[in-house]
Amino acid sequence: MNKLSSSNEEIEMIKEVIQNFGENEINPIVSNIDDDSELPISILEKVSELGLYGMLGSSEFGGAETSFSTFIHGMQELTKYSPALSSLLIFHNVLSVQLINKFGTDSQKSNLLTELTTGKKIGTAVLGDDGSFINVDNIRTEATEEGDYYSISGTKSFVLNGALSDFFIILCNFGKDSGFVFVEKDNPDISFSKPISAIGLNGNELISISFYSCKVPKTNLIGKFEDTPDIIKVAQETIWLGISAISIGIMQSALDQAIKYSNERKQFSKPISKFEAIQHKIAGMALDIEAASAMLSNISKNKDNNLDVHIQAAMTKITSSEMAQRNTKFSLLIHGGYGYIKDFPVERFVRDAEAVKSLVDSNDDLRVLIAKHLTS
C-alpha cells in the first residue's frame, strides 16, 4: 500500500478496500469468529496483503504511512464487519507500529518495523499494571540495571492483543524514572495466563503476563526516560480514539440491522418500521452515530494537525462507548424476542458494545481526568 494522506478521496478509497474485504471475506464467517473466539489464519493473511498491519508505519519500512484520520475512518468501517479484527489492528498499529515509528531508535525501526508493518509480528503496549492506560503513577513492574541488561519483575494484567502478540512494549518503574522497554514473547523469563474471554470482542482475547527477573538488553528501551510522558500521552489519546472508532462501527451495525429487521417484520399487515415508536428509536440511533462520527472525525483531523487532543480524546471515548451501549440495546428491543437469539447478530452487538465500554480505562476515571483539567 502506498503512502496515503487524509483527503476525502483517500478515505473513501481505504473504506472501499475494507468494504470489499468485509463483504467477501469476513461476512461469510463472522459468526464462526464469535463462536470459536478465533480469527482465522486466512483472514490474518488477507490483512497482510491489504497492508492494514502497517497503516501507521513509515513507508521506508513497508508501511502505508496514512494519516491518523484515514486510519480511524478505515477502522470504523472495518468494525462493521468484525470488531475483533478492527481491535487487533487498532491495538497493533497504535501501540506498537506508531510508538516505535515515533519514539524508536534507528536500529529498533530497522529491526522491528518491517516485520510489524507486514504482520509477520504482532505487537502491543501495556501501561498500567491493571491493564489501564490512565493509572500510571504507581507502576509496580520494576526494571533494575544489571550490566548491559535490564531485569524486569512484575505482572501486567488484561493485556490488549495479548494472546496474539509476539512482543510487548511495557511501562516499568526504573526507580527514579519510568520508561518503556520491549520484551519478546519467547523470552524464557516470562509466563502467560490462559486467554481471558470477555463478554464480547471474541477472537481477540486478553492475557496477563508475569515477568520473573526477565532480562532484556538495554537497547530495548523505547525512547529516553524524558520521553516517557510524551509516549504515555500518545498511547492514551490514540487508543481512546481507536476505541471510539470501534464503538461507532458497532453502533452502525446495530442501526443497519434494526432497519433491515423493522422493514421485514410485519404487524397488523405493515412493516414495524412504519410505527412511530420504532421510527423514534431508529432516528435516535442515527442522530447519535452522526454526532459521534463528527466528533471523532474532527478530533482525528486535529491530531493530524498536531493539536493537543488529549482531553477531547477522553471525551470522545466516553461519548461514543456510552452511545454504543445504549443504541445496541435499542436495536435489541426493536428485534423483540428475536434479539436474544444467536441466529440474529444483534445480541453480539450488545456484547461487543459492553466489552468496548470497559476497555482500557473506565469512563468514570476519564470523567475525573476531564474534570481535573477543567477545574485546574
Residue 5: pLDDT over 70: no
What class has domain 124-227? Answer: mainly beta
Is 8-122 assigned to CATH 1.10.540.10? yes
Task: Identify which of 206, 150, 208, 205 has the alpha carbon closest to the alpha carbon of residue 183.
Answer: 150
What confidence score (pLDDT) does residue 1 get? 43
Which pLDDT value is given to residue 4? 45
pTM above threshold 0.75: yes
* Per-residue pLDDT at 6: 54
| pLDDT above 90: residue 344 | no
Per-residue pLDDT for 105 more than 90? Answer: yes
Share of the chain above pLDDT 70, in %: 98
Distance CA 366, CA 363 (A): 5
**Res. 86 pLDDT band, cuts 50 70 90:** very high
Question: Which fold is adopted by the domain 228-375?
Answer: Butyryl-CoA Dehydrogenase, subunit A; domain 3 (1.20.140)
Amino acid occupying residue 363: N
Burial of 275 per CB tally in 10 Å (0-12, 13-18, 19+): middle
User: Any idea where the domains of the chain sit in the sequence?
Assistant: 8-122, 124-227, 228-375
Read off the pLDDT of residues 208-267 as tens digits, 9 standing for 90 and up. 999 999 999 999 999 999 999 999 999 999 999 999 999 999 999 999 999 999 999 888
- Do residues 133 and 176 make contact, with C-beta atoms less than 8 angstroms apart? no
Q: What does the alpha-carbon distance between residue 348 and residue 328 come to, in Å, rounded to a whole number? A: 9
Q: What is the mean pLDDT of residues 314-325?
A: 97
User: What does the buried/exposed string (b/e) look like for 228-244 if buried means 16 or more CB atoms within 10 Å of the residue's CB?
Assistant: beebbebbbbbbbbbbb
Evaluate whether 104 touches 221 at the Cβ level (below 8 Å).
Answer: no
Q: Using one digit for the tens of pLDDT, what is the confidence trace for 150-209?
A: 999 999 999 988 888 999 999 999 999 999 999 999 999 999 998 887 788 888 888 999
d(CA 360, CA 318): 12
Q: Phi/psi of residue 315, each to 5°?
A: -60, -40
Pick from 187, 239, 216, 228: nearest CA to 68: 239
